[in-house]
Structure 1
Amino acid sequence: MKSNTTKIEVSAPKTAKRFVFVLLDKFSLLSFAAAVECLRIANRMSGAKLYEWVLTGDTDETEDTVSCSAGARFHVDFPLSELNREDVVLLCSGVDVQAATTKRILNWVRREARRGIKTGGLCTAAYVLAKAGLLDGKRATIHWENHDSFLEEFEDVHLTKSVFVVDGNRMTTAGGTSSIDLMLNIIADDHGEKLANAVADQLIYSSIRTDQDTQRLSVPTRIGVRHPKLSQVIQMMESNIEEPISPSVLAKDVGMSTRQLERLFRRYLSRSPKRYYMELRLQKARNLLMQTDMTVINVALACGFASPSHFSKCYRAHYNTTPYRERGAQASRLSV
């Protein structure tokens, strides 16, 4: 079948820009594949070899493989080694990023960054860059599920909720399809908006996002309720986990009585404001227990609990296990 694709005229470089994808154990297949597809389609639409890509990872031999979180395995082109200064490094990670962040990976990425190589992290790989000290004083983003734990561990990083961030020679994405947005941004910078838009069309990607777009849905969309005052209260709750605000103060801030607020929550969310707030705090606590090395006491304080005993009681009532057992179970999973 003959293709009807219209070639986009660009000024092709003498040497293709090379992307080095560093695959970490249990990396996100979607984030990785989305990035590679953008490069492949850019080459196809331009009729020129604008980009090339290679795979590496924390392996000892070229024949070694790295497994993504979906279980598929990929052969690397070469083990970790010194790169060309013009290369672009993109670390790819996913679940259990702490376990995948080995000392060898950290030493290697620090060394290559010192040589001036542009370095990025897809999905949760901002964690690796931050652990290596490469995001200190810079803006960055990470998948929303890892947002709370990242904030607790890396105080010197200006964490945002953007779908992607480019700050100097550091790039980070929020995971999922945000890799497409980053790569389209790179393609537009390299070869113009026309080629980037053509790549988006090929991907049937109709809503190209910028670094000003946030990764999570708005509160009304997320909870399925479009009541402005309810949304406002929930946003206030989400922004004040460590020091919870009483329902009476929340109600006053949006111009209603405590009783009206209670009725609003019962009607739309089938729970009281106090119960909903508690669930938000416990959800953050579980993320911190699963994703950080914070002590249970510090997790309790970070989530607005005055004492470990009260925290443990609430946690058991909601999750049917204690914070200590949750932490132990997570450690066992990571050691497998």
Structure 2
Amino acid sequence: MNTTTRTFSRTFADRNLGFISQAQTERKTSRVGFLLLEHFSLPCFTQALDVLVTANLIAPGAVRVHTFSHDHGEVISDLGIPVRPDTPLTDIRLSDLDLMVICGGLRAARTVPSWLSALLRKIARLPIALGGLWNGAWYLADAGLLDGYRCAIHAEQRTALAERAPHANVCHEPSVFDRNRMTSATPNGAFDMMIHWLAHGAGLQLADAVLDRLDADQSKHRSVQRPQQPKVSKPLREVIALMESNLEEPLSPGQLADVVGLSVRQVQRLFKDQLNTTPQKYYFQLRITEARRLIQNSSASIFDVSIACGFVSCTHFSRSYSAFFGHPPSKEIRYEI
């Protein structure tokens, strides 16, 4: 069967990045290191790590992660769970990195050992970005590496850091990305920090895809690569919500417009101006994307999925699915049967 290839609009290309064969393009591997300090915040570390691991699930080889400690020995986290680093802390290893993240924690010592200050200054002379989790900014500032930078640190040490590093701009945000310095104060901040790093270091499209996979509520109406873009307007959010609630029996353009009190032309303009697509294309790609999720995560038959997603013809559904994903729905991977 000769099926014409179809492409997703930007919103759905991000959501389906890992499932579109033509999206598997060659990309530079981003290398990230985590230096674990005694009593480091395990929740911060795992939030940041989750972003990178998910990036590799979507685009294998996109990120290479290394974990370090001072003496390459086991480090105890703030939750009492030991973590054994996988990489020795050597000059050769460091030179391979694009980003080194200092993993602090509530009980991590505020007295900065000389080896750490020396190491951070050495890294700062290399083309490597520096980051800090929880109170990681404390160690960067002590080495003089946050002068003239905005930074984030856990609230308990915010005042102390402002006094200790008067030339640093200590902020109240959970995460701050300032040129080649990035810091976070909370686990959620660590997540956001690493999403922004991924956009910078491994690609904007991949960062959006990871955000969609891990935090769909945030990513639905936002793109990390275009922070300057206005947020999707309330009327358009209402139209999208209607579409999401009416997959089995799709509403007509007129019905969608009537519910939100707009004309069909006004709705079309909203989609064009804010999402660079048409309502019809958005609705169709929404249904195809939801069909993929349903197939992967349920034991429903292909016929039932096609009906649930508003396709009156199973043949039309199969052809459309193949055009977008490169294979028919019958060949889709099922995670739960």
Q: TM-score, normalised by structure 2?
A: 0.55
Whether 1:36 aligns to 2:45 is no
> Paired residue for 1:77, among 63, 80, 86?
86
Q: Is the 8 A contact 2:30 2:201 kept in 1?
A: no
Q: Which residue of 2 aligns with 1:138?
A: 149
Q: 2:26 matched to 1:12?
A: yes
CA contact 2:195–2:207 (8 Å) conserved in 1:
yes
**Paired residue secondary structure (2:109):** helix
Give SS of 2:176's match: strand
1:50 to 62, 65, 74: 62
1:29, distance to aligned residue in structure 2 (A): 0.4
- Contact 1:85 1:115 (C-alpha < 8 Å) held by counterparts: no
Candidates 35, 38, 41, aligned match of 1:25? 38
Partner letter of residue 75 of structure 1? R
Counterpart of 2:130 in 1: which secondary structure?
strand
- Letter of the aligned partner of 2:63 in structure 1? Y
Structure 1 position 142, deviation (Å) = 0.8
For the pair 1:196 / 2:203, whether they are aligned, the reply is no
- Per the TM alignment, residue 132 of structure 1 is displaced from its structure 2 partner at its CA by 0.7
Give the counterpart letter for 1:130 in structure 2: A
* 1:97 alignment partner, SS class: coil
Provide the C-alpha distance between the structure 2 equivalents of 1:112 and 1:194, rounded to a whole number of angstroms: 29
CA shift in 2, pair 1:5/1:136, >3 Å: closer
SS in 2 for 1:116: coil
Aligned to 1:112: 123
Cα gap change, 1:196/1:115 in structure 2, threshold over 3 Å: closer, same or farther? Answer: closer
Q: 1:129 to 1:189 in 2, by over 3 A?
A: same
Inter-CA distance 71–87: structure 2 relative to 1 (3 Å threshold): same
What pairs up with 1:219-298 in 2 under 5 angstroms?
Answer: none
Q: 1:114 and 1:137 mapped to 2: Cα distance?
A: 16
Counterparts of 2:159 and 2:124 in 1: how far apart (Å)?
26
Could you tell me whether the CA contact under 8 Å between 1:92 and 1:121 is conserved in 2?
Answer: yes
Aligned 8 A contact 1:164 1:173 in 2: yes
Deviations 1:122-154 (A, max 9, x none): 111000000011001111111122111111211
| Deviation, structure 1 residue 75 | 0.9
Task: Measure the CA separation in 2 of the matches of 1:190 and 1:131.
Answer: 26
Which digits, 9 at most, give the CA deviation of each residue in 1:274-333, with x for residues without a partner? Answer: xxxxxxxxxxxxxxxxxxxxxxxxxxxxxxxxxxxxxxxxxxxxxxxxxxxxxxxxxxxx
Q: Deviation digits for residues 35-71 of structure 1, max 9, x if unmatched?
A: 111011111112x210011111122xx4x20011000
RMSD: 2.6
Q: TM-score, normalised by structure 1?
A: 0.55
Distance 1:146 1:205, change over 3 A: farther
AA of the residue aligned to 2:53: R
With 85-94 and 27-36 compared, the bigger mean Cα shift is at 85-94
Q: Quick one: which of 184, 187, 201 aligns to 2:195?
A: 184
How far off is 1:98 after superposition?
3.4
Structure 1 pair 205/31, CA: closer, same or farther in 2 (3 Å)?
A: farther
Q: 2:36 touches 2:103 (CA, 8 Å); kept in 1?
A: yes
Pair 1:68 & 2:82 matched:
no
Distance in 2 between residues matched to 1:23 and 1:140, nearest whole Å: 19
Structure 2 counterpart of 1:125: 136
Gaps of 5+ in 2: 1-15, 228-337
- The 1:19/1:86 distance shift into structure 2, 3 A limit, reads closer
Cα 1:115–1:6, aligned 2, differ >3 Å: closer, same or farther?
closer
1:198 Cα deviation from its structure 2 partner = 2.4
Secondary structure class of the residue paired with 2:153 = coil
Aligned partner letter, 1:7: F
How far does residue 195 in structure 1 lie from its aligned partner after superposition? 2.6
Q: Distance in 2 between matches of 1:111 and 1:191?
A: 24
Note if contact 2:32-2:97 (Cα within 8 Å) is conserved in structure 1: no
Q: CA deviation at 1:79?
A: 3.6
Task: Give the total of aligned pairs.
Answer: 204
